[in-house]
């Protein structure tokens, strides 16, 4: 089996997203370590809609994924590569062995703070759009003063901007037959609106204990394989204000020989995208299983 681990971003948080990690001693230890560093317990956050606030959502996603991985890593094959979507890319470096969960949680908080500070001057949010080609989407963005934030497929995108820009974009896109829906994200991530967040996040990365990943991490901005600390910082920092080429990231994993994909919590969107893109792969999300043993059993079958 050639396994790729996928780390989703924020927006699909749910009250049960920590349960699998809490069912395992290694997962519980990781959650305790994160709580000590954060001086607050993410297990408390999932009890309310506070988990969708950017300042909590980003560290929560990173902590949940890395605690879950600690529960799973001993029953799964060693991954060939890791890729993360939005804040999930930062989380990927924990999965890849480049940083421990406590310092990772601190970086996720620093990232959220930098983005929230930048958003005070440039408020905005994100929309998911499906049904038009990139050239058409980019033309509509230009007309509406919006921007492509994430490319997930040839006809599927996330678009960011302020309220007026997204309203204008939605009207034009729907008139051309596109499907448009709002995302539960409080900032216009991966657009020029957050360029002021790049420098403070870069400084936080440079001060951190982030090291060399033991497993290649696919960079969101250009789908290259990152294997050094320097390259990790060079790709993670601008990512907050630059388009993520997620479709290219999926292709890069496939080209590396990955045919089994496991998506960590929260949600099932990334595994669905991979199944839609490739016919000869196995892809599931941990949120589809009730136990560590269930994930391990699926992985064993997928590797046969």
Backbone angles phi, psi at 142, to 5 degrees: -60, -40
**Residue 171: predicted pLDDT:** 97
Evaluate whether the domain defined by 125-182 bears CATH number 3.30.70.250. Answer: yes
CA distance linking residue 230 with residue 65, whole number of Å: 24
**Residue 303: predicted pLDDT:** 74
Tell which CATH architecture fits domain 3-120+192-302.
3-Layer(aba) Sandwich (3.40)
Q: Tokens 């909590």 identify what position?
A: 56
* β pairing state of 156-161 and 125-130: antiparallel
CA distance linking residue 105 with residue 140, whole number of Å: 37
**Residue 185: predicted pLDDT:** 84
**Residue 72: predicted pLDDT:** 98
125-182 shares the fold of 3-120+192-302? no
* β pairing state of 3-7 and 260-263: parallel
What are the CA-CA distances from residue 246 to residues 69, 143, 187 (Å)?
22, 24, 19
Residue 147 and residue 141 in contact, taking contact as beta carbons nearer than 8 Å: yes
Smallest CA-to-CA distance from 260 within 298, 289, 294, 226 is with 298
Specify the pTM: 0.96
Strand partners, 282: 260
Ordered by start, the domain boundaries in the chain are 3-120+192-302, 125-182
**Residue 117: predicted pLDDT:** 96
Residue 146 and residue 160 in contact, taking contact as beta carbons nearer than 8 Å: yes
In tens digits, what is the pLDDT along the chain, a chain of 304 residues? 799 999 999 989 999 999 999 999 999 999 999 999 999 999 999 999 999 999 999 999 999 999 999 999 999 999 999 999 999 999 999 999 999 999 999 999 999 999 999 999 998 999 999 999 999 999 999 999 999 999 999 999 999 999 999 999 999 999 999 999 999 888 999 999 999 999 999 999 999 999 999 999 999 999 999 999 999 999 999 999 999 999 999 999 999 999 999 999 999 999 999 999 999 999 999 999 999 999 999 999 987 6
* DSSP, res 304: -
């Amino acid at each position: 089996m050639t396994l790729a681990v996928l780390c989703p971003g924020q927006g699909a948080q749910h009250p049960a997203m920590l349960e699998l990690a809490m069912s395992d001693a290694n997962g519980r230890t990781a959650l305790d370590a994160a709580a000590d560093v954060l001086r607050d317990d993410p297990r408390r956050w999932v009890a309310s809609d506070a988990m969708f606030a950017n300042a909590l959502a980003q560290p929560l996603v990173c902590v949940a994924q890395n605690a879950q991985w600690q529960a799973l890593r001993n029953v799964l094959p060693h991954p060939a590569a890791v890729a993360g979507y939005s804040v999930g890319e930062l989380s990927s470096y924990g999965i890849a062995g480049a940083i421990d969960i406590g310092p990772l949680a601190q970086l996720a908080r620093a990232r959220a703070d930098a983005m929230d500070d930048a958003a005070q001057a440039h408020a905005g949010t994100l929309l998911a759009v499906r049904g038009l080609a990139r050239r058409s989407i980019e033309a509509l963005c230009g007309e509406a003063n919006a921007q492509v934030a994430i490319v997930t497929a040839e006809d599927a995108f996330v678009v960011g901007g302020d309220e007026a820009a997204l309203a204008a974009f939605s009207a034009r896109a729907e008139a051309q037959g596109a499907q448009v829906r709002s995302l539960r994200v409080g900032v216009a991530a991966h657009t020029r609106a957050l360029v002021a967040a790049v420098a403070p996040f870069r400084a936080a990365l440079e001060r951190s204990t982030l090291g060399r990943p033991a497993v290649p991490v696919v960079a969101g901005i250009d789908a290259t394989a990152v294997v050094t600390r320097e390259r990790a910082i060079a790709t993670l920092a601008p990512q907050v204000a630059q388009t993520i080429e997620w479709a290219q990231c999926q292709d890069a994993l496939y080209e590396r020989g990955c045919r089994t994909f496991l998506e960590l919590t929260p949600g099932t969107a990334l595994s669905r995208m991979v199944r839609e893109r490739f016919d000869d792969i196995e892809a599931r999300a941990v949120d589809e299983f009730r136990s560590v043993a269930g994930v391990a059993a699926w992985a064993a079958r997928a590797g046969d």
